[in-house]
Structure 1
Amino acid sequence: MDERAIQQKIQRLRNGGRLRVLDLFSGCGGLSLGFHAAGYEIAAAVEFDADAARSHGLNFHKGETRHSVARDITLTSPEQLTGELGLGEAVSAFDVIVGGPPCQAFARVGRSKLREIAEHPEAFRHDARAQLYIEYLHYVETCAPLAVVIENVPDMLNHGGHNLAAEISEILTARGYVCAYSLLNAAFYGVPQMRERMILIAIRRELVNDVLFPAPSHWIDLPAGYSGSRAVALKIALAADREGDALYRAAPEATDALPPAVTARQAISDLPTIDARALLKAGLLRRGTRRFNIPQPYTGQDRQTAYAKAMREWPGFEGGPAIYDHVIRYLPRDYELFAGLNPGDQYPEAHRYALARFAEALERLEVPLDEGTEEWNKLKASIVPPYDPGKFPNKWRKMEADRPARTLLAHLGKDGYSHIHYDSAQARPISVRDAARLQSFPDGFRLAGTMNPAFRQIGNAVPPLLAKAVALKLKEQLLECGAQVPRVRTATGAGA
């Protein structure tokens, strides 16, 4: 680690310099957007997926080609990145590195191996399980940031028997950082979604003695499933046979004195109505690629909640007179089925309802069909989904209007059954813009590609409002502590 570069960055911070962010594994930019909203400069990003890289470039660099190209971190050194972007030397270009290597990158890489990687970065470049993790560490080592923020799924704390957050913290501590990690649920930070994330923060030891996490802004009594998942994730960190990992921090406590969590209805009820059954009947909803070239006028001013208003008026990402990505999947068999489901219903309930509708359809026939005939099977297939309800109990879910949404996943890029719109009159899965709202992306945030890539980008993203809360707390620590750091001394001993 370049100690002189660290001191120069601290001095720059003292002089009022804006904190410059490098977002690794950036996706479309959920973390970047949160840090941007907190006043950071998004200097650069590295993202392998072409559509996500284009989205990031569109939103943070006005679509400049050099900022919009996909980059493979294993083939792009820090020096190459800053050279291509005209940012000067890598060691001087960034103050904060954010992002999160995919868990698969270091699954089953043990603590001893991680230590060896830290000491000998070339040692395991042949190991596909560790390579992305090695590259991430290499960027930290080369770029000498004042702070690092890593996010990932809660299972990172118990991945194949390893607490990867603790192991990463061990490496960063050896490199001069003060580290801590926690599990934060996005619903406590104003996001209309119950999404649990592991957040690890590392700050240079020259600046702090400890790491702090943001206080919640909202309250919710999370469903039991979230508590159970959290307990599994924390099993190693809070092991009973030892004192536990001193670097783990329990999430700051939320109380019911706070405003209630933002609900799905508050998040998306102002968006244009999409009556899937009426559009299907009129021939306006067809199979095919969903592109974002058809404007839908925004007419929901009279239905705006405080949250919707914030998504419409996000500085730099304001919503316009029309929405272009409010598109849904073509699922003609299931729109009527969606209409009949109750809030919270999942696939077993959907399957039972579909069988009941099939039975009614058989009774309406003037000429009865024998079970098992081609015509009987064809009619059943037009009404009843083919999945075994015993094997796919969680495949479907109708949202509850007055609660935050359940966790959005990248699987939205393949189907929309996990988030069926709560409004039975619309009888549809959520749209791309619905999903963006539920992740707290503002209406002016542009998504490159077509519907499937856009859903995937949203599902993979960190909710920007959660990222903003983390960014503001980190900034508070950096600015407060940076102001107290002694000035850098020059060779002659004069203050810089």
Structure 2
Amino acid sequence: MLNIIDLFSGAGGLTEGFRKDDFNLLAHVEMDEAASKTLKVRDAYYYLKENGDLNRYNDYINKKISYDEFLTEIPEKIIGKVINLAISEGNLQEIFKQIDSQPNSNKVHGIIGGPPCQAYSTIGRARNKKIKESDERIYLYKYYLRFLEKYNPDFFVFENVKGLLSFKDLDGNSLLEKIKFDFTNAVSTGHYHIQIKLINCTDFGVPQVRERLIIFGYKTSMRDFDFFRNLDQFQEKPPIIKELFQDLPILKSGEIKNEYSKVPPSEYVSINLRTSKLPLTQNICRPNNENDLKIYRIVAKEKKKNRNVKYSDLPIELITHKKSNIFLDRFKAINGNGYSHTVVAHIAKDGHYYIHPDVSQNRSITVREAARIQTFPDDFYFESSRTSAFKQIGNAVPPHFSKIISQNILENLYTITE
């Protein structure tokens, strides 16, 4: 059993891939309250599933019992794994203390996670240029180092955005090179081999064009392991969006419909996402004003012709923003005959960039549809509001890709070191 610590957990997309018999999740560390509640609910789900009783979970997601009532009968050793604290200098010792109180914490095999990426993203750095000198998010990776130094794990997985490849520190030098140097020399008792690659999750069964930078490290005392060469053996073709959504109900803007359609799910959904013993949940769509719906209809129709509509090209009576010459791609439909563009946290603010491909439905995607694009299984429940759920989904690592990461580590790193 390999003991794992999950840092900057979010809703637990990266965590989800390590929820298998060969791994023991010692702790999740997450500052956001809603995401921490999501993690507790998910931990409770797996506890109940392991004990062969999902009736209580069913009652909760069907709103028959409250959040507090649901967790009442879940052991503290299960929900106590979630540490709802910001990773900071002031909280570090308390976080260590809580992790060390967990059974089997004397040996940590792996650390997974990635700090918030807004400071590194190309859009984020432009917005935050004025506060760069005081933006502490840039150096959150240094706290990651503190965990490596304390727990001396065999390996770690650090995930972040493509923008980190080109991000410059305050001195004008590459921050990634500094991170690589620091990670290589993180542990006083030895060093780490560091491997870095930009990965498109589409190549690994995720129905979304999502490029992410993966930094993988493992101890130099272990035998050679090419993480990314071995990862390639797990490549698979994802379903197109039309197939991904085919068993979900038809609905209009502002509607909620938590019943599967009569159309059978695709093979991918049957194997990876749908749970027969639990109902559909959180299939909730935002309401829209009539002006936006007229725009949605135009944008979705044009997308079927493989064309994206610029805001400035809309009929003049539909243009309500004074600065029509900027943010020209503010409205975008998902390609039903292909893969989605990247789902990001901005989806929590509006659905204009994620218009449903079916023109007749004329709406943005639901929470559940966004979760499917990110490959969260249908039995995954997000706390505590629609907005919060969208944010958690947009920030997550796709669980399907995470499963591949964990399987690669399990089958190759530990197999070759035995």
Range class of TM-score, shorter chain: 0.7 to 0.9
Name 2:246's counterpart in structure 1. Answer: 269
Corresponding residue for 1:426? Answer: 361
Deviation of 1:47 (Å): 0.6
Q: Which residue of 2 aligns with 1:32?
A: 15
2 CA distance for matches of 1:320 and 1:298? 13
- Report the Cα offset of residue 452 of structure 1: 0.5
Q: 1:337 to 1:51 in 2, by over 3 A?
A: same
1:417-455 Cα deviation digits (max 9, x unpaired): 111000001000011000000001000111111111100
Matched, 1:308 2:269: yes
Cα deviation code 1:352-410 (max 9, x no counterpart): 4443xx4xxxxxxxxxxxxxxxxxxxxxxxx4442644201221111111111000110
Q: Is the 8 A contact 1:347 1:395 kept in 2?
A: no
Matched-pair contact (CA < 8 Å) for 1:82–1:93: no
Structure 1 residue 463 corresponds to structure 2 residue 395: no
- The corresponding residue for 2:146 is 138
| 2:77 maps to 1:60 | no
Other-structure match for 1:166: 177
Tell me the distance in 2 between the aligned counterparts of 1:397 and 1:429.
10
| Partner of residue 6, structure 2 | 23
Alignment equivalent of 1:443, drawn from 364, 378, 386:
378
Do the aligned partners of 1:347 and 1:389 also contact (CA within 8 Å) in 2?
Answer: no
Report the alpha carbon displacement of residue 347 of structure 1 after superposing the two structures with TM. 4.8
Q: Who is 1:96 aligned against? A: 110
Residues 1:336 and 2:294 are matched in the alignment: yes
Return 5+ residue gaps in structure 2 as ranges.
46-70, 72-77, 122-133
Q: 2:30 is matched with which residue?
A: 47
**Separation (CA, whole Å) in 2 of partners of 1:339 and 1:412:** 19
Q: Name the CA distance, whole Å, in 2 between partners of 1:321 and 1:104.
A: 35
Q: Secondary structure at the match of 2:232?
A: coil
Opposite residue 279 of structure 2, the aligned amino acid is A
Return the offset for 1:82.
4.7
Matched, 1:297 2:255: no
TM-score normalised according to structure 1 size: 0.67
Alignment correspondent of 1:183: 198
* Contact 2:251-2:257 within 8 A present in 1 as well: no
TM-aligned CA distance change 1:325 to 1:167, over 3 Å:
same
Query: Contact 1:53/1:68 (CA < 8 Å) preserved in 2?
Result: yes
Q: Which amino acid aligns with 2:297?
A: A
Whole-angstrom CA distance in 2 between matches of 1:388 and 1:216: 48
SS at match of 1:296: coil
Q: What TM-score comes out, normalization by structure 2 length?
A: 0.78
The aligned amino acid for 2:92 is S
Give the match for residue 198 of structure 1: 213
Taking the aligned partners of 1:73 and 1:188, their CA distance within structure 2 comes to 32
Tell me if the contact between 1:179 and 1:211 (Cα under 8 Å) persists in the aligned partners: no
Q: How many residues align?
A: 360
8 Å CA contact 1:194–1:405 kept in 2: the answer is yes
Q: Would the alpha carbon gap of residues 104 and 89 (structure 1) be closer, same or farther in structure 2, given more than 3 Å must change? A: farther
